[in-house]
Structure 1
């Protein structure tokens, strides 16, 4: 008889240790009032597009690489990524002075590929799904002896991403609701863990694209479910399955999950650009879209924070998505 062990949950001490590692490396992104975008309640955004690399991913990637010994890092690092993780790993590798190879989809945006290359990574393209990228990344690891830096399914990655939640509660003790995007689940797991351990009464809402309802399916099944390949605007949230480690944290700490249609994302992006002067990619805007569409009502007994996970979108893509959207 085979016994499946549940992943061990990340502790608050582990998240605080990650914050110490990131001190002076990652940007402590501010909380900005979103009253001009969501007038109901007291709503704030945490703009992770202001993070180094243009998204939250440096938090996890640098924390993971800091835990490697120098001999491991010297062999080089390899990362499968739809885009933002690749740039974070490339940046962390540059900071440590080690080589990085990133495996990105054939459909990767020009901005995300150029960002990884600008930061010194060697880019390979493989298929269109997370499975395709992971297979090729593992092949490169086997061939080169490098170290795989997982995009989300690892406790050290979860701890690093959780530093964003640590900052939210520290900067806004009156927070009573946090909305966080759901991709493979590292950010949502980390933020939910930090928030719930520091402020148990605060609700944490996961937000995922309706074309890729990974967490919704997993919660219904009681385990991560492979949903197959999908296409959509929120390219950073199209993993085919939520990770095992993140899902264990979701089950403990995420109160609810909602799904947002692609049509709502350009409207949210335009509102963020016009009213808050923030350039947000579709994946990052999904939390504000959930509020703007009325899928989630802001907390009535305190403050609400929407995590904007990133802003890596090139000018032609921004114009193409927002050109026909009404302005402020």
Structure 2
């Protein structure tokens, strides 16, 4: 059943977009030669992740696109829809991420001038990547909202065509090529799990998938910090905001067009917490050997967080992007090791006499552990003057071995306490 009980599903799903059937078919079948610049990314079975999740899981690797994101598809579809006059004048978009690069790349390849308005605090690496793809970059505004307002002002002043990141029928149809490729490769998928930000990807996916198989389940996933689409289609005022790993789907207000599609064609929307996203990203890298950004890991995060929805089913999940800061990635991987108790920070109380550190190292070694780092606290503590403590980071193969390391330290007569993330001294 669709999310909204007030609106029955339409016989021709593409009609919701207001596009002529022939135009929609031209996009989804990628008839224009320019579509050869979009990678037909693999959709493959993941035996290891299937075993870990209890479903038959197939992954669509749109992180393999030239710019590392599915956004190229919708951008190209929109650009190909422009008249000769519109192409001659140029286009504009507001984006600090994947949409910026998708528009910049395909506008340049089609000989169209592109202006991208980005918030002034956008990381310079993203700014330079967008410029390198041929776009004029305007840095203004403290956030996306202000940049978007500035883009609309420039659009009006210069007579440009605005390329919206999601609330546009051509963009939605272009994103739908993901589903067409998936179902051409694996026709008997019975469930698709799709990340939702503004709703462009899930709108195009739902329309194409329901045309091919009206009984297929479409499940959307949002970061719990940004349930914008869930608020829009189900009502309520769930808070939106915060620092999410899935910044690519951190949208407070979804599109007007996309919420109509979602209301009629999407079967369910689930949310995932930040630890779910971190675990999913880590699993994709360590088990599947592919790099996903937070939004790209959202599908797997949903399968991990809501296993009963997917158990025993043949599920397709879209890795919609792979652009992530390497420093953030390093932090996520280390945090996941700590969550699995393969890495722990232990606080050990010592008598301030020679040989105590040798006792500690021998106890850890006897249990097969590995010391990562160590720090003394001789002055800033409230212990007696002849006592001290050390904080020591230890690596183990799993949680059971970590327990053996702690037991070994205690058997040596040492007082040991595992530290939590918020214990800083």
Q: TM-score, normalising length from structure 2? A: 0.70
What secondary structure, in the 3-state scheme, does the structure 2 residue paired with 1:135 have? helix
Match of 1:105 among 111, 119, 136: 119
> 1:30 and 2:79 equivalent?
no
C-alpha separation in 1, matches of 2:258 and 2:308: 22
Flag the 1:271–1:107 CA change in 2: closer, same or farther, 3 A: farther
Q: 2:263 is matched with which residue: 251, 256, 267?
A: 251
Structure 1: tracts of 5 or more residues without a match = 1-6
Give matches, 1:74-113, under 5 Å: 74-106=88-120, 108-113=122-127
Deviation, 1:145, is: 2.1
Partner of 1:317: 328
Task: Report the RMSD for the aligned CA atoms in angstroms.
Answer: 2.4
Q: Paired residue for 2:229?
A: 215
Alignment of 1:19-58 (within 5 A): 19-21=30-32, 23-39=35-51, 40-58=54-72
1:17 aligns with 2:31: no
Q: What is the Cα deviation at residue 296 of structure 1?
A: 5.5
Alpha-carbon distance change, 263 to 41 in structure 1, aligned in 2, over 3 angstroms: closer
Contact 2:292–2:323 under 8 Å retained in 1? yes
Q: Where in structure 2 are the equivalents of 1:172-321 lying within 5 Å? A: 172-221=186-235, 230-294=242-306, 297-298=309-310, 300=312, 302-321=313-332
Deviation of residue 115 (structure 1)? Answer: 2.6
Partner Cα separation in structure 2 for residue 108 and residue 61 of structure 1: 21
Note the alpha carbon deviations across 1:113-150, whole angstroms, 9 max, x for none: 33312212222334455432321110111232221111
Shift of 1:272: 0.6
Partners of 1:8 and 1:65 in 2: how far apart? 21
Q: CA deviation at 1:234?
A: 1.1
SS state at 2:74 partner: helix
Cα offsets for 1:88-114 (capped at 9, x unmatched): 000011101222111223454455333
Given that 1:38 and 1:291 are in contact with CA atoms closer than 8 Å, whether structure 2 keeps it comes out as: no
Which protein has the larger Cα radius of gyration, Structure 1 or Structure 2? Answer: 2
The answer on whether the counterparts of 2:118 and 2:144 sit within 8 Å (CA) in structure 1 is: no
How many Å apart are 1:252 and its aligned residue?
Answer: 1.3
Q: How far off its partner does 1:227 sit?
A: 6.6
Structure 1, residues 59-98: CA drift from partner, whole Å, max 9, x if none? 1101101111222112121111231100000001110122
3-state SS, counterpart of residue 53 of structure 1 = coil
Matched, 1:125 2:139: yes
Deviation at 1:230, TM superposition (A): 4.4
Does the 8 Å CA contact 2:193/2:318 hold for their aligned counterparts?
yes
Q: TM-score, normalised by structure 1?
A: 0.89
Q: 1:199 to 1:99 in 2, by over 3 A?
A: same
Where in structure 2 are there 5+ consecutive unaligned residues? Answer: 1-13, 343-396, 398-425
Pick from 45, 51, 65 the counterpart of residue 79 of structure 2: 65
Any conservation in 1 of the 2:227–2:252 contact (CA below 8 Å)? no
Contact 1:78 1:148 in 2 (8 A): yes
Instruction: Please say which of residues 32-41 and 248-257 is displaced more in the overlay.
Output: 32-41
Kept after mapping to 2: 8 A contact 1:49/1:308: yes
Superimposed CA distance per residue, residues 202-254 of structure 1 (whole angstroms, 9 cap, x where no aligned partner)? 100000011110111012239xx897654322111112211011111111110
Specify the alignment match of 1:3 in structure 2: none
Per-residue deviation, residues 16-62 of structure 1 (Å, max 9, x unmatched): 31122353121111112223224112101111111121100111101
Mapped to 2, the partners of 1:181 and 1:129 lie a distance apart of: 22
- Take 2:223 and 2:22, find their aligned partners in 1: how far apart are those partners? 32
8 Å contact kept, 2:277–2:297: yes
Equivalent-residue separation in structure 2 for 1:37 and 1:113 (angstroms): 35
